[in-house]
């Protein structure tokens, strides 16, 4: 859209623009700084054999990759279930089911993840460690996406949907071209929460032997090596913040214009 | 008998869980090319009736005929693409530009891009918005009145024969509302659609409607008639109450000056010429066809400027208002260009108001007396 067709909206205040730039460029710079400081700190230490087994590039990269791929699978499964479910539960014919389903999802999130994953490991021993981890984290992260999909769809102005139908859009057409685009900002906020929550909780996968950066933390705990523990914790935190930053950019990108 | 575009036959809608139906056995014929206004108190079933017509709501029983054909069993989506729909809350898509909003139904009907673009610009011009300036804007970048204009343009986009408008000017300040009403009437003179228009406001109904359906409750129509008839012969007490005080004054706004008999016998004199003898107290001074001054017959007094002349598009209400403002019992009438056409005085207005009124008492011929 050319500036000529814009109405005389008040100019974006300087302060707001500065915050925006800080948000876009500040976070990665700060995170890089943290990682660099961590590297310099670890590099300056005299590492013993046990510490070296955890604190080498090959090991750390492999755990980080495990961590990310496990998180990715969990998040994809969350989206694949929570978004369609959220859509269905906001249709008039299924609205009665919304309460019970939300209660279930609430229980999923209210249960301590650690308890959930251990419980699963005991009850579903035959499933294999990865399945157990994925199902537990999936249950845990489903609520924010489900709830925000529903809230996002419900906050769409009824008169807008009604006029879409009144002009002859089918239900599906109205959902796709009116309701969902208008729900996107709220939905994306939920997805962003789920991403961050998942990247954080996947650190617990180590307790069922499913790998990830939790391994580094766990190594630090059982061997009482604080440098290892610190490295693992910082890396998980940096990863979560980085994902949050990425999701924030996507949110900005997909926010419909004019809303 | 005019052709009926929309016929409602024993139409009934009961919402689940409500003891009384919202619309109860409503039968109504809506003639082609006319504006029919549904007016009535809140909750009397106006919106429900509208939504029954385009089948946003399915009737509990009864039939709807569109152009003679029963549409109760047809595909509702298809049906709605042929019925324009504009509502008070505008229902504009906030994430779509003005052009995209207007193009909604043409796109659903799979018109070509070029045709859609041309149509959007044509409609924006028709509703008084400069296409170059407005087509790329988003709804929230428009004022309430502009949003309503876009709403009307969107409803007209695919040139539907029928237009449903549910309080389209309800949430707008009185001045803008009047402008929009005038523009709707102007547009209607060109396009001659069958329009069902819902409002709370009896004055709006009188102004807009070719016919008015006054709803009492449960979609029951207390009176269905022309504005003149509704005002002069309210069917029952409910209608009389609903019209409220001042029905006679309201009727003044039904007649335009163009349709009134204008007196052309007022003595006039061209500027600079010698005044003729006459029995009137004032002479009208004309200058290049325009009335400019009231000149007293007796010498020694200066002339008075001609103020608040009325044109052909003004109503008798405006004419009366001009007389009261000028503290005079006569007002100058001009044509659209401002050229002098004649005069209109108080007795003439009284005659017009009571033209078909047999009960009025004989009037004293005293000039300017208002009963
Ligand atoms: N979706 C609905 N479910 C149940 N009852 C409804 C529904 N919509 C309307 N009603 C009821 O039906 C009756 C008629 O409502 P409707 O909206 O047609 O009135 P209206 O004449 O348009 O009123 P207003 O002038 O306030 O817009 C009201 O009593 C209302 O409470
Ligand atoms: Mg209504």
Of B54, B95, B154, the CB nearest to A259: B95
ipTM above 0.85, yes or no: no
Which of B243, B191, B237 lies closest to B35 in space, CA to CA?
Answer: B191
Residues B212 and B75 reside in one and the same domain: yes
Higher pLDDT, A50 or A33: A33
Q: Which ligand 1 atom is at minimum distance from the Cα of B46?
A: 21
Q: Which pLDDT score is estimated for B300?
A: 59
- For position A3, what pLDDT does the model report? 40
User: What is the C-alpha to C-alpha distance for residues B219 and A127, in angstroms, rounded to an integer?
Assistant: 63
- B297 vs A: CB within 8 A: no
- In this complex, the residue of B81, B92, B97 whose CB is nearest that of residue A168 is B81
Gap from A194 CA to chain B (nearest CA, Å): 26
Report the residue from A2, A6, A165 with minimal CB separation from B56.
Answer: A165
State mean pLDDT over B126-133. Answer: 94
Cβ B42 under 6 angstroms from ligand 1? yes
List CB contacts of B200: < 8 A, sequence separation 6 or more.
Answer: B39, B40, B41, B42, B167, B170
| Averaged confidence pLDDT in chain A | 88
pLDDT at B233 exceeding the cut of 80: yes
Would B66 be classed as within a structural domain?
Answer: yes
Burial level of A102, CB count in 10 A (0-12/13-18/19+)?
Answer: middle
**pLDDT score of B59 more than 80:** yes
DSSP per residue, B29-40: EEETT-EEEEE-
- CA A8 to chain B, closest CA, distance in angstroms equals 9
* pLDDT computed for residue B368 by the predictor: 34
pLDDT for res B318: 87
Could you tell me if residue B65 is inside a domain? yes
Q: What is the pLDDT of residues A82-134, one digit of tens each?
A: 999 999 999 988 888 888 888 888 887 787 877 878 888 888 878 888 888 88
Domains of chain A (ranges plus CATH)?
Answer: 20-254 (1.10.3720.10)
**B370 found inside a domain:** no
Segment 46-85 of chain B within 8 Å of chain A by CB: 54, 56, 77-82, 85
**Are B78 and B104 in a shared domain?**
yes
Shortest Cα distance, chain A CAs vs residue B154, angstroms: 9
- Judged against a pLDDT cut of 80, whether residue B192 lies above it is answered with yes
Q: Is B274 in the pocket of ligand 1 (CB under 6 A)?
A: no
Residues B239 and B304 in one domain: no
For residue A11, what pLDDT is reported?
A: 53
Q: B220: domain CATH number?
A: 3.40.50.300
Q: How far is C-alpha B180 from the chain's CA centre? A: 9
User: Rounded to whole angstroms, what are the CA distances from B316 to A49, A59, B234, B366?
Assistant: 103, 92, 21, 20
The DSSP result for B36-101, as a single string, is EEEE-STTSSHHHHHHHHTTSS--SEEEEEETTEE-TTS-HHHHHHTEEEEETT----TTS-HHHH
Q: Read off the DSSP letter of residue B162.
A: E
Average pLDDT of span B41-65 = 93
Structural domain of B310: 258-360
**Summary mean pLDDT of chain B:** 88
Which one of the ligands is nearest to B57 CA?
1
B107 in contact with A, Cβ within 8 Å: no
**Ligand 1 midpoint to CA B216 (Å):** 13
In angstroms, what separates the C-alpha of B153 from chain A's closest C-alpha?
13
Res. A199: pLDDT tops 60: yes
Give B279: exposed, middle or buried? Use CB within 10 Å, 0-12, 13-18, 19+: exposed
Could you tell me if residue B365 is inside a domain? no
Cα B195 to ligand 2 centre (Å): 16
- Indicate the pLDDT class of residue B366, thresholds 50, 70 and 90: very low
B87 interface with A at CB cutoff 8 Å: yes
Cβ pair B87:A162 closer than 8 A: yes
Q: Which residue from B96, B108, B133 is facing A168, i.e. has the nearest CB?
A: B108
B14-28, B42-56, B292-306: least confident range:
B292-306
For residues B201 and B280, state if they share a domain. no
Of B104, B133, B141, the CB nearest to A167: B104
| CA-based nearest residue to B332, from B287, B274, B275 | B287
Pocket lining: B43 vs ligand 1, CB cutoff 6 Å: yes
Structure tokens at B78: 């298809």
The verdict on the CB of residue B220 being under 6 Å from ligand 1 is no
CB atoms within 10 A of CB B162: 20
Is residue B145 included in any domain, yes or no? yes
- Closest residue, chain A, to B50 (C-alpha): A166
Instruction: Answer yes or no: is B205 within a domain.
Output: yes
Determine the average pLDDT of the residues in B348-358. Answer: 71
Position B59 in a domain: yes
Residue whose CA is at the smallest distance from ligand 1 atom 26 = B42
Q: Which residue has the tokens 């002479």?
A: B283
Q: Answer yes or no: is B367 within a domain.
A: no
Could you tell me which of A149, A134, A206, A201 has the C-alpha nearest to residue A180? A149
B37, B223 Cβ separation under 8 angstroms: no
- Rounded CA separation A65/A19 (Å): 32
> Which position has the token pair 């009188």?
B206
Instruction: Give phi and psi for B332, each to the nearest 5.
Output: -80, 135
**Residue B193 shares a structural domain with residue B95:** yes
Average pLDDT of span B259-266: 85
Query: How confident is residue B369, by pLDDT bands cut at 50, 70 and 90?
Result: very low
Is the Cα torsion angle A115, A120, A122, A123 positive or negative in sign? positive
CA of A246 to the centre of ligand 1 (A): 47
Number of alpha carbons in the 13 Å side-chain half-sphere of residue B83 = 31
The whole-number pLDDT of residue B131 equals 96
Same domain, B248 and B268: no
In chain B, pLDDT over 90 holds for what percent of residues? 54
- Same domain for B332 and B294, yes or no, is yes
Instruction: Count how many domains chain B has.
Output: 2
Mutate which: B53, B54, B77, vs A, most A CBs within 10 A: B77
Judge if B277 and B171 occupy the same domain.
Answer: no
Q: Do B94 and A159 touch (CB under 8 A)?
A: no
Whole-number Cα distances in Å, B323 to B305, B306, B326: 14, 12, 5
Q: How far apart are CA A226 and CA A51, in angstroms?
A: 9
Determine which of A241-255, B165-179, B293-307 has the lowest per-residue pLDDT on average. B293-307
B307 and B264 in a common domain: yes
Which pairing describes strands B268-270 and B282-287: parallel, antiparallel, or unpaired?
parallel
Inter-chain contact A5–B136, Cβ cutoff 8 Å?
yes
> Is the confidence at residue B170, as pLDDT, over 80?
yes
Alpha carbon of residue B87 to chain centroid? 17
Tokens of B235: 């069917």
Higher pLDDT, A207 or A195: A195
Q: Which of B192, B222, B254 is the last residue of a domain?
A: B254
Report the alpha-carbon distance of residue A38 to residue A162 in Å, rounded: 56
Q: Are residues B94 and B227 both part of a single domain?
A: yes
DSSP state of B48: H
Identify which of B11, B26, B46 to mutate to test ligand 1's pocket (most ligand atoms within 8 A of the CB): B46
* Mean predicted confidence (pLDDT) in A59-86: 95
Scanning every residue of chain B, which has its alpha carbon at the shortest distance from the alpha carbon of A256? B95
Interface size A-B, in CB pairs within 8 Å, comes to 81
DSSP SS3 for B132: helix
Task: Report pLDDT digits (tens) over A223-252.
Answer: 999 999 999 999 999 999 999 999 999 988
- Residue B14 Cα to ligand 2 middle (Å): 16
Are residues B143 and B209 both part of a single domain?
yes
Q: Stretch B44-58: mean pLDDT, rounded?
A: 94
3-class secondary-structure state, position B137: coil
User: Of B254, B286, B308, which residue sits at a domain end?
Assistant: B254
Q: Are residues B208 and B240 in the same domain?
A: yes
Residue to substitute from A3, A167, A170, interface B, most B β-carbons within 10 A = A167
Boundary-marking domain end, from B233, B254, B275: B254
**Nearest 10 degrees: Cα torsion A89, A92, A93, A99:** 40
Query: How many angstroms away from the CA of A206 is the closest CA of chain B?
Result: 45
User: Long-range contacts made by residues B110-115, C-beta under 8 angstroms, separation at least 24?
Assistant: B111/B158
Residues of B in contact with A160 (CB under 8 A): 91-94
């Amino acid at each position: 859209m050319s500036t000529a067709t814009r109405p005389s909206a008040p100019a974006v205040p300087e302060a707001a623009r500065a915050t925006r730039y800080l948000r876009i460029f500040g976070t990665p710079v700060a995170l890089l700084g943290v990682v660099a400081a961590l590297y310099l700190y670890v590099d300056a230490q005299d590492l013993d054999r046990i510490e070296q087994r955890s604190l080498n590039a090959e090991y750390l990269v492999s755990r980080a990759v495990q961590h990310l791929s496990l998180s990715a699978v969990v998040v994809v499964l969350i989206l694949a279930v929570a978004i369609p479910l959220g859509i269905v539960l906001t249709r008039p014919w299924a609205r009665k089911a919304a309460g019970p389903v939300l209660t279930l999802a609430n229980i999923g999130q209210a249960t301590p993840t650690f308890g959930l994953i251990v419980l699963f490991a005991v009850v579903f021993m035959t499933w294999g460690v990865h399945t157990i981890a994925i199902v537990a984290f999936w249950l845990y992260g489903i609520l924010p996406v489900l709830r925000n999909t529903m809230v996002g769809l419900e906050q769409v102005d009824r008169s807008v949907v009604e006029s879409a139908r009144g002009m002859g859009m089918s239900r599906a057409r109205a959902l796709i071209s009116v309701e969902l685009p208008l729900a996107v900002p709220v939905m994306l906020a939920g997805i962003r929460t789920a991403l961050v929550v998942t990247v954080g909780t996947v650190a617990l996968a180590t307790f069922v032997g499913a790998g990830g950066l939790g391994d580094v933390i766990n190594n630090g705990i059982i061997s009482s090596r604080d440098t290892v523990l610190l490295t693992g914790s910082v890396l998980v935190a940096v990863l979560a913040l980085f994902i949050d930053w990425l999701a924030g950019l996507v949110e900005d990108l997909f926010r419909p214009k004019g809303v | 008998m005019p052709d009926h575009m929309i016929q409602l036959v024993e139409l009934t809608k009961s919402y689940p869980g409500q003891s009384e139906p919202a619309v109860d056995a409503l039968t109504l014929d809506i003639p082609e090319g006319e504006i029919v206004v549904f007016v009535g108190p809140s909750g009397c079933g106006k919106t429900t009736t509208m939504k029954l017509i385009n089948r946003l709501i399915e009737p509990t029983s009864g039939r709807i005929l569109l152009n003679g054909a029963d549409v109760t069993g047809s595909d509702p989506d298809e049906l709605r693409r042929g019925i324009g729909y504009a509502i008070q809350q505008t229902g504009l898509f906030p994430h779509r530009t003005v052009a995209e909003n207007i193009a909604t139904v043409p796109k659903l009907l799979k018109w070509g891009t070029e045709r859609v673009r041309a149509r959007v610009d044509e409609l924006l011009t028709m509703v008084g918005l400069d296409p170059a300036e407005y087509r790329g804007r988003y709804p929230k970048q428009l004022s309430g009145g502009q949003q309503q204009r876009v709403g009307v343009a969107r409803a007209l986009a695919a040139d539907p024969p029928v237009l449903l408008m549910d309080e389209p000017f309800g949430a707008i300040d009185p001045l803008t509302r009047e402008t929009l009403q005038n523009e709707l009437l102007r547009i209607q003179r060109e396009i001659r659609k069958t329009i069902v228009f819902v409002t709370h406001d009896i004055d709006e109904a009188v102004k807009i409607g070719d016919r008015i359906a006054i709803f009492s409750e449960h979609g029951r129509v207390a009176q269905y008639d022309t504005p003149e008839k509704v005002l002069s012969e309210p069917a029952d007490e409910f209608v009389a109450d609903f019209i409220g005080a001042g029905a006679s004054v309201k009727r003044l706004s039904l007649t335009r000056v163009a349709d009134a008999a204008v007196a052309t016998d007022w003595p006039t004199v061209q500027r600079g010429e010698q005044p003729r003898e006459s029995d009137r107290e004032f002479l009208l001074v004309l200058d290049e066809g325009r009335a400019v001054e009231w000149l007293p017959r007796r010498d020694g007094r200066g002339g008075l400027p001609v103020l608040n002349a009325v044109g052909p598009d003004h109503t008798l209400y405006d004419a009366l208002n001009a007389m009261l403002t000028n503290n005079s019992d006569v007002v100058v009438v001009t044509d659209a260009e401002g050229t002098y056409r004649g005069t209109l005085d108080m007795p003439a207005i009284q005659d017009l108001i009571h033209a078909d009124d047999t009960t009025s008492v004989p009037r004293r011929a005293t000039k300017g007396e208002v009963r």
